[in-house]
């Protein structure tokens, strides 16, 4: 009888070790897994998990607009999903320096659904479409880059020329843009 109890104790100890090795998913990770499995990206957008499948909370999205001022450009965004997702939006930064009214030179993105208009019913797919929309319809009314916003509002031809310089690699104002043509 004592032998049976010792075997049971060994079995429980082994199961406890296995349980420690198996990572339990948080509510945010479960929600993000669902979002990723339901992604419906346009052909001009892609997602990459740079840390592999072990870290789904940090990933990159590439947007290659196929219409508008930024056609032919390639823009990479880093996403950091907070532990309280979907109650808080992901933190999104543009890793590609660009001349854009809604993206500053540090990569900060001005997109209403990433700030005051975020709701837990929104998801990663919505954010990606929002980023794509920034390139097809830049908004001069809520700028992070005042110079770009003023050019877009006051002189769309000059704005288009400056975007072209930034995409090809050139100087706009006092800033050098390394280029991001795909």
Q: Active-site residue among 31, 45, 94, 110?
A: 110
Sheet holding 91-94, edge to edge: 45-48, 58-63, 75-80, 91-94
For residue 44, which of 20, 26, 71 has the smallest C-alpha distance? 71
Beta carbons of 170 and 180 less than 8 angstroms apart: no
Q: Is 45 considered catalytic here?
A: no
* Cβ-contact 149, 101 below 8 angstroms: yes
- φ, ψ dihedrals at 20, nearest 5°: -70, -35
- Give me the active site residues, please: 110
């Amino acid at each position: 009888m004592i032998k049976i109890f010792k075997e049971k104790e060994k079995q429980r100890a082994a199961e406890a070790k296995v349980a420690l090795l198996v990572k339990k998913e948080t509510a945010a990770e479960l929600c993000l897994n669902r979002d990723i499995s339901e992604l419906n990206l346009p052909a001009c957008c892609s997602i990459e998990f740079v840390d592999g499948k072990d870290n789904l909370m940090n990933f990159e999205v590439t947007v290659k607009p196929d219409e508008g001022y930024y056609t032919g450009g390639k823009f990479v965004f880093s996403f950091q999903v907070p532990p309280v997702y979907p109650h808080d939006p992901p933190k999104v930064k543009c890793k590609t320096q660009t001349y854009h009214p809604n993206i500053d030179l540090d990569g900060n993105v001005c997109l209403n659904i990433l700030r005051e208009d975020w709701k837990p019913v929104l998801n990663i797919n919505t954010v990606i479409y929002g980023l794509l929309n920034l390139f097809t319809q830049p908004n001069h009314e809520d700028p992070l880059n005042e110079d770009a916003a003023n050019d877009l509002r006051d002189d769309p031809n000059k704005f288009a020329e400056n975007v072209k310089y930034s995409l090809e690699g050139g100087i706009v104002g006092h800033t050098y843009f390394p280029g991001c043509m795909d």
